[in-house]
């Protein structure tokens, strides 16, 4: 397991949820940095732009302004640079349509955000534990 701080890219348009998610991540005590993109365009810029982040995990909401979550996912999977990055869709939507489409494009995991914060916090903790600690991330290209 690689040591050092791990980078999480959180793509979330709602500032409240952003705060809640970060809080949940902090509570889980997994050493990580979190960068936040407020919409699809910003996410793509962060991944493919000048800065060109290489996160260990991308937490992606589906309903985003400007560029939609599924579109972002598609772009991530299309580019060689980012194809192998683990992407976890974290969304309120329980539409089967979204679920199927996400897996078709190639999401690693699909999580429905529970309303209850405690549950959400627990889910986040588990997410973090799994993807950042247990899971072997693909090597940085």
Partner 1 sequence: MKPRGYSILFPILLVGALLVVCLNTWFALRSVDVLLASEDWVQHTWQVLTEVEQIMSLAKDAGAGNLHYLLTGDEAFAEPYRSARQLMPRGLDDLQRLTADNPKQLANVGELRAAMQDRFLQIESTIMLGRGGGLKPHEAMLANEGGKLQLDRLRAIGDAMEHEEHRLLAIRLGQTRRSTRSARETIGLASLLDLCLIVFMARYIVRERELRLVTEQVAANLAASRAEVEANALEVQALNKTLEERVRLRTAELETTNRELEAFSYSVSHDLRAPLRTIDGFSLALEEDYAAAVGVTGKDYIKRVRSGVQRMGELIDALLQLSRITRAAIQREHVDMSAMAHTVADDLLEQNPGREIEFKIEHGLEAEADPALLRVALENLFGNAVKFSSKVPKAVIEFGWDKEQNAWFLRDNGAGFDMYYAEKLFNAFNRLHGDKDFKGSGIGLATVARVIRRHHGTIWADSVVDHGATFLFTLR
- The DSSP code sequence of 8-68 is EEEE-S-HHHHHHHHHHHHHTT--EEEEEESSHHHHHHHHHSSS----SEEEE-S--SSS-
Interface segment toward partner 1; rule CB under 8 A; list 10-18, 31-39, 71-79, 81-89: 10-18
Count of residues engaged in binding partner 1, rule: CB under 8 A: 20
Determine the length of the chain: 141
* Contact call for residue 122 and partner 1 (CB under 8 A): no
Mask: binding to partner 1, 62-81, rule CB under 8 A, as x and -? xx------------------
* Contact call for residue 124 and partner 1 (CB under 8 A): no
Complex with partner 1: residue 43 or 62, whichever CB lies closer: 62
């Amino acid at each position: 397991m690689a040591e050092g701080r791990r980078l999480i890219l959180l793509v979330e348009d709602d500032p409240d949820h952003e705060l809640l998610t970060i809080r949940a991540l902090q509570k889980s005590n997994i050493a990580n940095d979190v960068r936040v993109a407020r919409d699809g365009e910003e996410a793509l810029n962060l991944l493919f732009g000048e800065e060109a982040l290489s996160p260990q995990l991308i937490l992606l909401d589906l309903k985003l302004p400007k560029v939609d979550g599924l579109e972002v996912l598609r772009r991530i999977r299309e580019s060689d640079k980012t194809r192998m990055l683990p992407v976890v869709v974290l969304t309120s939507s329980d539409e089967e349509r979204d679920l199927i489409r996400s897996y078709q494009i190639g999401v690693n995991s699909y999580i429905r955000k529970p309303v209850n914060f405690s549950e959400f916090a627990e889910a986040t903790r588990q997410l973090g534990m799994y993807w950042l600690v247990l899971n072997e991330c693909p090597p940085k290209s």
